[in-house]
């Protein structure tokens, strides 16, 4: 944003540098039409070639204090009033750059002074305690990679949707912090405790009830994201992180954990984050079900006849992805895709499938299989199992892209009502 | 990957307890870890054997500090403050502080997108949209949420009596309580919400079945 504003300013004063002019021209030509990803695999859309001086004849800028993206690369999140979606189609692999991590918050991003930050743990404990940020960082640390995903992560309804539009409320980082179990050991948890209440210090004072088993299994109080301090949008200076669970339970800006023996039935686990299932309302769906999406090729890209490496991501909250299958004939036959190593627990897994497109209209699809033996369902299977009043949470149907005769790629929306 | 897993498991307190049981650590640790952690029966892992009974980081929280932040209300009413309110008082507060976003009477208006969800409907399970009347399983949640997060532009600005009154107004508008009912720490948790019978806990555990 800052860069864009600067450009405008320069333009308005008539003082346009060559660098600005080049960057602006290329950006305008690429962004609405095609992602930068495509130019490496397809030459279908011509990339404007501005007159760049021979780089071997001119010394470039020297070392700087902060890196920045190439002027030619401008991936952006897509914000709405309540969330912001990751540009899945622009990623080459599974780590989401921190500034492109999806956002979902319930009353904005709080401004928290790390020197004032404290985490309170109380309730059914021997000794209620407060930990400041320095305290948290002194404990034995723990680092892992895992995805986060909003449980409302699915949009459909029209053909002109990008992967970012359809499933952009998921991202992946390497997280560092202290295991919550380490802190619970410090306060001495009662053997009668079975739940904990996690509460944030945003203006919604967002609160969720979490079974204590998850806290002992793999919960983290995270203060690091991709090697640096966690971003404000992601919970700075510290957040709860529950690998594989619906994003809302990983309470950001966490300030209080109450150890208890029952769920408190907060608004976010009753009125929200619940969904109709055959006339009932299902609550406490914690694990994210296995799913996948092809991120290349995808709308609004255009493909050419010949070899195409179909690429995408698959993930599950219930462990590891063991298989991803791709169909290039509208779901009639399925073939195993190649999984990019390492395949990690509760993590985005990159898959690839080589395909020779001969120019006929078809549909391409992917489906994920996780280590519990669960196969990502078709929408019809979900409707058959839950009824037509599906709601918007925990919907993980197989998604399809239509490949048209002219090589254009469109999402295939499916109706269920 | 193997190394990562090993570290992860090694830091889990369940393992620690086996260590304790094996008598490899100080008896004092037993008190520090107690039953919940002992209930997990997991194999010995070496990394935590070097851990002290306590690291000594952090400090004891005072009673006042806990009281200041402990605002959660339990379904049985634990946490509800003193005070009371009724729907008449609540209607005035609603008109002033809630109606701009939630609509004049809290109902969905066809063709108009309000900045915030509709709150009032009949209590039939199949009716739309999802409101307090047809979708909220606990009345205590209403008090808890309004007090912590509403009004959206001034969260936490209502007094406890005002929160009781707004809660009473919304429950009355949804025809769950009588218009003259007084809500307080005793009466609020006794309210049975129409939607409560609909809620079921997810029992899926993975595997081949689509549920």
Say which range, A281-290, A361-370, A408-417, has the weakest mean pLDDT. A408-417
A 274-313: CB under 8 A from B: 274, 277, 279-287
pLDDT of residue A410: 98
Strand order in the sheet with A78-79: A78-79, A83-85, A103-104
Nearest CA to CA, how far is A219 from chain B (Å)?
10
pLDDT band (50, 70, 90) for residue A176: very high
**Max Cα separation, chain B?**
70
Compare all CA atoms of chain B with the CA of A274 and give the residue at the minimum distance. B199
A 138-167: CB under 8 A from B: 138-140, 142, 144
Average pLDDT of chain B is 82
Compare all CA atoms of chain A with the CA of B39 and give the residue at the minimum distance. A191
**Section A65-89 average pLDDT:** 96
pLDDT of residue A401: 98
The 10 Å Cβ neighbour count of residue A380 is 12
User: Do the Cβ atoms of B1 and A342 come within 8 Å?
Assistant: yes
Say which range, A168-182, A314-328, A360-374, B43-57, has the weakest mean pLDDT. B43-57
- Chain A residues whose CB is inside 8 A of the B141 CB are 265-267, 270-271
Q: Which residues of B93-114 are buried (b: 16+ CB within 10 A; e: fewer)?
A: bbeebbeeebbeebbbeeeeeb
Tell me the percentage of chain A whose pLDDT exceeds 70: 88
**Section B177-198 average pLDDT:** 97
- Chain A residues whose CB is inside 8 A of the B58 CB are 129-132, 135, 186
Q: Helix/strand/coil (H, E, C) string of chain A?
A: CHHHHHHHHHHHHCCCCHHHHHHHHHHHHHCCCCCHHHHHCCCCCCCCCCCCCCHHHCCCCCCCCCCCCCCCCCCCCEECCCEEECCHHHCCCCCCCHHHCCEECCCCCCCCCCCCCEEEEEECECCCEEEEHHHHHHCCCEEEEEEEECCCCCCCCCCCCCHHHHHCCEEEEEEEEEEHHHHHHHHCECCCCCEEEEEECCCCCCEEEEEHHHHHHCCEEEEEECCEECCHHHCCCCEEECCCEEHHHCCCCEEEEEEECCCCCCHHHHCCCCEEECCEEEECCCECCCEEEEEECCCCCECCCEEEEEEEEEECCCCCEEEEEEECCCCCCCEECEECCCCCCCCCEEEEEEEEECCCCEEEEEEEEECCCCECCCHHHHHHHHCCCCCCCCCCCCCEEEECCCCEEEECCCCCC
Map residue B199 onto helix, strand or coil. Answer: strand
pLDDT band (50, 70, 90) for residue B198: very high
pLDDT band (50, 70, 90) for residue A39: very low
pLDDT band (50, 70, 90) for residue A48: low
The Cα A212–Cα A189 span in angstroms is 10
pLDDT of residue B128: 79
Kindly state whether A272 is in contact with chain B, defined as any CB-CB distance less than 8 angstroms: no
pLDDT at B126 over 90: no
Kindly state whether B136 is in contact with chain A, defined as any CB-CB distance less than 8 angstroms: yes
pLDDT at B98 over 80: yes
* Residue contacts between A and B (CB atoms, under 8 Å): 194
Average pLDDT of chain A is 90
Q: Do residues B174 and B189 lie in contact, with contact meaning Cβ atoms separated by under 8 Å?
A: no
What is the pairing mode between strands A254-260 and A118-123?
parallel
* A309 phi and psi angles, rounded to 5 deg: -90, 105
The structural domains of chain B, with segments of one domain joined by +, span: 2-50, 69-198
Map residue B8 onto helix, strand or coil. Answer: helix
B 172-211: CB under 8 A from A: 195, 198-202, 204-208, 210-211
Give kind and range of the element (H or E) at residue B7. Answer: helix B2-10
For B70-138, the DSSP string reads -----TT-TTPPS-EEEHHHHHHHIIIIIHHHH-TTS---TT---SS------S-TT-SS--HHHH---
Compare all CA atoms of chain A with the CA of B144 and give the residue at the minimum distance. A266
ipTM of this predicted structure: 0.85
Per-residue tokens: A308: 């195409």
The Cα A244–Cα A94 span in angstroms is 15
Per-residue tokens: A229: 């301090």
Mutate which of A180, A210, A214, A265 to disrupt the B interface (most B C-beta within 10 Å)? A265
Kindly state whether A137 is in contact with chain B, defined as any CB-CB distance less than 8 angstroms: no
Would residue A108 be called left, alpha or beta, if left means φ above 0 and alpha means ψ between -120 and 50 degrees? left
Encode pLDDT of A255-310 as tens digits.
999 999 999 999 999 999 999 999 999 999 999 999 999 999 999 999 999 999 99
Question: Which of A186, A199, A375 is closest, CB to CB, to B55?
Answer: A186
pLDDT of residue A51: 65
pLDDT at A353 over 80: yes
For residues A262 and B126, which has the higher predicted lDDT (pLDDT)? A262
Angle at B77 between CA B71 and CA B79, to 5 degrees: 25
- Chain B residues whose CB is inside 8 A of the A373 CB are 206-208
pLDDT of residue B9: 37
pTM score of the predicted model? 0.85
Q: Do residues A273 and A249 lie in contact, with contact meaning Cβ atoms separated by under 8 Å?
A: no
pLDDT of residue B105: 87
User: Do the Cβ atoms of B31 and A382 come within 8 Å?
Assistant: no
The Cα A80–Cα A98 span in angstroms is 19
**Section B61-75 average pLDDT:** 98
Nearest CA to CA, how far is A84 from chain B (Å)?
18
Encode pLDDT of B5-26 as tens digits.
333 433 444 444 444 344 333 3
pLDDT of residue A42: 47
pLDDT at B165 over 80: yes
The Cα B84–Cα B182 span in angstroms is 7
Say which range, A2-16, A42-56, A396-410, has the weakest mean pLDDT. A2-16
The Cα A18–Cα A51 span in angstroms is 10
For residues B21 and A143, which has the higher predicted lDDT (pLDDT)? A143
Nearest CA to CA, how far is A91 from chain B (Å)?
23
**Section A149-158 average pLDDT:** 97
Q: Do residues B120 and A254 lie in contact, with contact meaning Cβ atoms separated by under 8 Å?
A: no
Mutate which of B57, B79, B101 to disrupt the A interface (most A C-beta within 10 Å)? B57
What is the pairing mode between strands A239-241 and A254-260?
unpaired
- Whose structure tokens read 């039935």? A265
Mutate which of B42, B48, B206 to disrupt the A interface (most A C-beta within 10 Å)? B206
pLDDT band (50, 70, 90) for residue A36: very low
User: Do the Cβ atoms of A271 and B1 come within 8 Å?
Assistant: no
pLDDT band (50, 70, 90) for residue B47: low
pLDDT of residue B50: 87
**Section A71-97 average pLDDT:** 97
User: Do the Cβ atoms of A191 and B55 come within 8 Å?
Assistant: no
pLDDT of residue A47: 54
pLDDT at A22 over 60: no
pLDDT of residue A49: 56
For residues A49 and B16, which has the higher predicted lDDT (pLDDT)? A49
Compare all CA atoms of chain B with the CA of A281 and give the residue at the minimum distance. B199
Kindly state whether B11 is in contact with chain A, defined as any CB-CB distance less than 8 angstroms: yes
DSSP annotation of B176 reads S
How far does CA B102 lie from the centroid of its chain? 22
Question: Which of A186, A270, A374 is closest, CB to CB, to B137?
Answer: A270
Compare all CA atoms of chain A with the CA of B145 and give the residue at the minimum distance. A267
pLDDT of residue A27: 39
Say which range, A356-365, B63-72, B102-111, has the weakest mean pLDDT. B102-111
CATH of B69-198 among 1.10.760.10, 3.40.50.2300, 3.30.360.10, 1.10.1040.10: 1.10.760.10
Compare all CA atoms of chain B with the CA of A208 and give the residue at the minimum distance. B72
Domains and CATH numbers, chain A: 1-57 (no CATH), 103-264 (3.90.420.10), 291-411 (2.60.40.650)
The Cα A178–Cα A142 span in angstroms is 6
The Cα A170–Cα B104 span in angstroms is 37
Encode pLDDT of A193-252 as tens digits.
999 999 999 999 999 999 999 999 999 999 999 999 999 999 999 999 999 999 999 999
């Amino acid at each position: 944003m800052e860069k864009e504003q600067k450009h405008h300013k320069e333009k308005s004063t008539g003082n346009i540098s060559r660098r600005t002019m080049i960057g602006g021209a290329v950006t305008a030509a690429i962004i609405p039409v095609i992602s930068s990803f495509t130019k490496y695999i397809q030459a279908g859309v011509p990339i404007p070639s501005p007159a760049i001086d021979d780089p071997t004849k001119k010394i470039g800028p020297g070392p700087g204090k902060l890196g920045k993206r190439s002027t030619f690369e401008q991936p952006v999140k897509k914000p709405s009033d309540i969330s912001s979606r990751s540009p899945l189609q622009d990623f080459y692999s599974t780590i989401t750059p921190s500034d492109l991590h999806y956002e979902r918050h319930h009353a904005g991003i709080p401004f928290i002074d790390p020197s004032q930050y404290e985490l309170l743990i109380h309730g059914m404990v021997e000794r209620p305690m407060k930990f400041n940020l320095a305290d948290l960082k002194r404990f034995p640390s723990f680092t892992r990679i895992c995805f986060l995903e909003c449980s409302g992560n699915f949009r459909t309804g029209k053909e002109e949707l990008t992967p970012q539009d359809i499933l952009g409320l998921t991202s992946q980082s390497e997280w560092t912090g202290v295991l919550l179990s380490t802190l619970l050991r410090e306060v001495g948890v009662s053997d009668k405790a079975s739940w904990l209440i996690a509460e944030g210090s945003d203006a919604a004072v967002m609160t969720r009830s979490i079974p204590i088993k998850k806290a002992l299994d793999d919960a983290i109080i995270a203060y690091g994201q991709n090697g640096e301090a966690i971003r404000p949008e992601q919970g700075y200076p510290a957040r709860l992180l529950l690998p594989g669970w619906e994003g809302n339970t990983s309470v950001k800006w966490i300030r209080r954990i109450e150890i208890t023996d029952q769920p408190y039935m907060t608004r976010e686990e009753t009125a929200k984050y619940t969904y109709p299932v055959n006339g009932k309302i299902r609550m406490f769906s914690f694990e994210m079900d296995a799913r996948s999406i092809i991120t290349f090729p995808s709308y609004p890209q255009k493909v050419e006849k010949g070899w195409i490496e179909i690429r995408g991501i698959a993930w599950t909250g219930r462990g590891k992805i063991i298989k991803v299958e791709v169909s290039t004939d509208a779901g009639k036959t399925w073939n195993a895709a190649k999984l990019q190593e390492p395949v990690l627990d509760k993590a985005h897994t990159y898959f690839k499938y080589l395909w020779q497109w001969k120019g006929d209209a078809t549909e391409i699809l992917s489906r994920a299989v996780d280590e519990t033996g669960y196969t990502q369902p078709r929408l019809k299977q979900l409707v058959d199992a839950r009824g037509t009043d599906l709601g918007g949470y925990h919907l993980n149907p197989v998604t399809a892209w239509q490949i048209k005769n002219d090589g254009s790629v469109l999402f295939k929306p499916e109706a269920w009502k | 990957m193997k190394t990562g897993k090993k570290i992860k498991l090694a830091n889990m307190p369940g393992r620690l307890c086996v260590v304790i049981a094996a008598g490899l650590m100080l008896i004092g640790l037993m008190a520090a870890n107690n039953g919940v952690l002992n209930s997990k029966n997991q194999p010995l892992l070496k990394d935590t054997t070097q851990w002290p009974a306590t690291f000594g980081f952090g400090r004891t929280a005072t009673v006042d500090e806990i009281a200041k932040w402990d605002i959660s209300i339990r379904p049985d009413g634990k946490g509800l403050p003193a005070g009371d309110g009724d729907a008449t008082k609540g209607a005035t507060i609603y008109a002033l502080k809630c109606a701009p976003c939630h609509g004049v009477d809290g109902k969905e208006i066809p063709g108009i997108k309000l900045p915030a969800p509709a709150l009032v409907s009949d209590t039939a399970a199949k009716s739309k949209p999802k409101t307090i009347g047809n979708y909220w399983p606990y009345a205590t949640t209403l008090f808890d949420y309004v007090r912590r997060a509403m009004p959206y532009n001034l969260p936490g600005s209502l007094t406890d009596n005002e929160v009781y009154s707004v809660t009473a107004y919304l429950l009355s508008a949804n025809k769950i309580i009588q218009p003259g009912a007084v809500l307080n720490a005793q009466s609020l948790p006794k309210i049975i919400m129409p939607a409560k019978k609909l809620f079921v806990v997810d029992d899926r555990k993975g595997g081949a079945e689509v549920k």
